[in-house]
A and B are shown apart, each in its own frame.
Chain A
Amino acid sequence: MHHLPRCRAAGFGLVLTALVALPAFAQLDFSGEWAPLYHEDGPERLPGPELGDYTELPINAAARMAADTYDADRISVVPEYQCRPHGGDYSMRGLGNLRVWREIDQASEKLVAFHTHLLAWDSERTIWMDGRPHPPDYAPHTWQGFSTGVWEGNMLTITTTHFKTNYMRRNGVPRSDKAILTEHWTRHGDYLTVVTVIEDPVYLTEPLVRSDNWYLDPGQNIGVFGCEYAPEVPRPEGTVPSHLPGQNPYLREFADWYGLPFEATRGGAETMYPEYKQKIANEYHPPEKCSRYCKCTNLFDCNVTSK
């Protein structure tokens, strides 16, 4: 019988011992209080996306035009936009703390639904787990849509339809009411990973797949969001601020600030694949050092001059 050399065996044993801490069990309940982690796209998700930043979105020309002509004044001038919530898809970018709970049918002890409540606009969603079909086409659309879920092993796959028209990014990139959202929720220990897949035949050339993380925070307290619209800018009734095509003066700012080639900031599927890195290598001229959002991991350390 071979014997392990002493020091190697000892070290090896210690390594193996340490590995006992692996969480080995499938997680199958998402109930609890979840706080979003902003370790990806912090500046875009927290203070908000910059005008003209369409990177990492597989958008088409129609979406680009809608975003180029978008005027953020619309949110205040159109009173009905002041309290307009994020759509169910955008909400899962973690723009607010989340509570999840289960609904169990008392007679059968079966899981009927997961419910979610998000801080932003007190948005609530029901994820039906009882096999019911989605409503017919003529049914009303809502901000959160209509969701059903099925288990795939330890992953909960959710399909949502019947969204109202909304945005894919809150600098004007639109998302139509024909979109379908698929989510995959997995829980590993105290981390919840939500993969979102947005299919939008109106504005995307291929599905937008991204993933965001949350951590369990049982001590959190989600307050009331509250919103009441209050017109404060005197304008003729029915005014809808927009830039005329080709006349938005802000579209190049983003490229200029970060030294990016303008075409790269326009988004599109081509810009999301590895070969694009080589394509723009010679056109990227970053500034000497960071001067915008150099530090941004939570609501309190993310402003434009944070360093």
Chain B
Amino acid sequence: MTMNGRFAVAHLLRAASPLLGTLLLATALSFAQPPQINPDSVQLTMAPVQGSVYVLMGDGGNITVQIGKDGVALVDTGFAPLAPKAMAEIRKLSSGPIRWIVITHVHTDHTGGIAAMAKLGMTGESVGPPRIVAQSNVLNRMTGPQPGNQPKIPEEAWPNDEYFLPTKDFFFNGEAVVVYHVPDAHTDGDSIVFFRRSDVLSTGDVFTPGSYPIIDLARGGSVEGEINALNKIIDITVPAKYQEGGTMVIPGHGRLCDEADVVEYRNMLTIIRDRFRDMIKKDMTLEQVKAAKPTLDYDAQYGSTTGFWTTDMFIEAVYKSLSGKK
């Protein structure tokens, strides 16, 4: 199975029931195919966040939904098989066309539903397919040959409005929507999306409060980039009274958060990074680093000894990212 699919499954495992997650992982590892998902066994939950913004949870990564008189904007699209179910939830909020889809990064639990949602989201009011915004590295990875002999990604699933400058913005449903590229974080194509009037920030997998960040080294991810991305999120967010509320943060997976939650996550990763730097400076091998248990104080909160993304793999990724060793 490809790394992309594995990442996708890892995230779906956290959203779906344990039984479903085990089934999907077993399927994914056995057949080297995109995960087979039975939509009937997946529970989707739509929840209001703030202003015009909602979040749809349970379909791979969190899907951000902004609604208003101009139509619907999405951040990420979940998995293709779940698109009709996701669309049904969106239609409970708005009958307007999907005009914008912003993609935070290339993994299939966020991009798998692009083609389906773009098609399902069109109505009589559409003047064409939605604008599918993504950082240019996402487009590069989706249009090039796919690793592990995976089939080509069809053109209708590609971003059609890629950007390569530090930001891209547009105005929709009465507010500015600003897309920031945060380079070399979770991957090399990460975007975070700020709904300015609603005061909501969608982070993609740069921020996943329930687990250590997945650093996808093969797709340009890095620890330093991840920390920079978290600092960028903290720069943008403004809390209300006493460090609570204010700008709401929709992570790639997991519960609704605010700045204080991102600060804890950033602190964790920065402290771990500092420890690794010290050990690498002392020429410690990966095995020696693992034996030193440098993440012990955070493992019960963020780590895992089983599943796809384990604490060991996180330690390995941090070590390789900081040392430059393969």
Contact = CB atoms under 8 A, between A and B. Distances in A.
Interface of A: 61-63, 65-66, 69, 74, 78, 80-81, 83-85, 121-123, 136-143, 164-165, 174, 176-178, 201-203, 227, 237-240, 242, 244-245
Given A80-B234, A240-B270, A240-B271, A138 B242 contact: no
Contacts of B296: 61-62, 65
B312 interface: no
A240 B244 CA distance: 20
A141 B301 contact: no
Interface stretch (B4-12, B33-41, B161-169, B256-264): B256-264
B300 A203 contact: yes
Nearest to B278: A244
29 contacts: A62-B297, A65-B296, A66-B297, A66-B298, A69-B271, A80-B243, A80-B263, A84-B243, A85-B242, A121-B242, A138-B47, A139-B47, A140-B255, A140-B256, A164-B260, A165-B264, A165-B301, A177-B261, A177-B301, A178-B301, A201-B300, A202-B301, A239-B270, A240-B270, A240-B271, A240-B274, A242-B271, A242-B274, A244-B275
A85 B256 CA distance: 20
Contacts of B263: 78, 80-81
A178 B298 CA distance: 13
Interface of B: 45, 47, 57, 227-228, 231, 234, 239, 241-245, 248, 254-261, 263-264, 266-267, 270-271, 274-275, 278, 292, 294, 296-301
A62 B300 contact: yes
Nearest to A244: B278
Contacts of B255: 137-141
Contacts of A138: 45, 47, 57, 254-256
B200 to A, nearest CB: 12
A245 B275 CA distance: 8
Nearest to B256: A140
Contact of A240 (B254, B259, B267, B298): B267
Among A69, A81, A164, A237, find the residue whose CB has the most chain B CB atoms closer than 10 A.
A164
A302 to B, nearest CB: 26
Given A139-B255, A237-B231, A165 B261 contact: yes
Q: Is the interface of A mostly helix, strand, loop or mixed?
A: loop
Contacts of B47: 138-139
A140 B243 CA distance: 13
Contacts of A176: 300-301
B297 A238 contact: no
B84 to A, nearest CB: 22
Contacts of B241: 122
Given A63-B297, A80-B263, A85-B242, A140 B274 contact: no
A80 B274 CA distance: 20
The 10 A-B residue pairs with the shortest CB-CB distance in the complex, in nearest-first order:
A66-B297, A65-B297, A202-B300, A240-B270, A238-B231, A138-B255, A140-B256, A80-B263, A165-B264, A242-B271
Contacts of A239: 270
A80 B230 CA distance: 13
Contacts of A202: 300-301
Nearest to B209: A177
A241 to B, nearest CB: 9
A78 B297 contact: no
Contacts of B299: 62
A199 to B, nearest CB: 14
Given A138-B254, A177-B261, A245-B292, 8 more contacts: A62-B296, A62-B298, A63-B297, A80-B263, A83-B243, A238-B228, A240-B267, A242-B274
A83 B242 contact: yes
A62 B242 CA distance: 28
Nearest to A225: B242
Nearest to B45: A138
Contacts of A66: 297-298
Nearest to A162: B255
A85 B301 contact: no
Given A65-B296, A80-B234, A202-B300, A85 B243 contact: yes
A83 B45 CA distance: 34
B261 A238 contact: no
Contacts of A83: 242-243
Contacts of B231: 237-238
A164 B261 contact: yes
B266 A238 contact: yes
A80 to B, nearest CB: 5
A203 B301 CA distance: 9
A178 B257 CA distance: 14
A123 B248 CA distance: 20
A105 B278 CA distance: 60
Contacts of B259: 80
A91 to B, nearest CB: 12
A240 B243 contact: no
B283 to A, nearest CB: 16
A81 B264 CA distance: 10
A84 B292 CA distance: 32
A65 B242 CA distance: 28
A203 B283 CA distance: 31
A143 B259 CA distance: 12
B297 to A, nearest CB: 4
Contacts of B274: 240, 242, 244
* Residue with the highest number of chain A CB atoms closer than 10 Å, among B45, B242, B254, B266: B242
Contacts of A123: 242
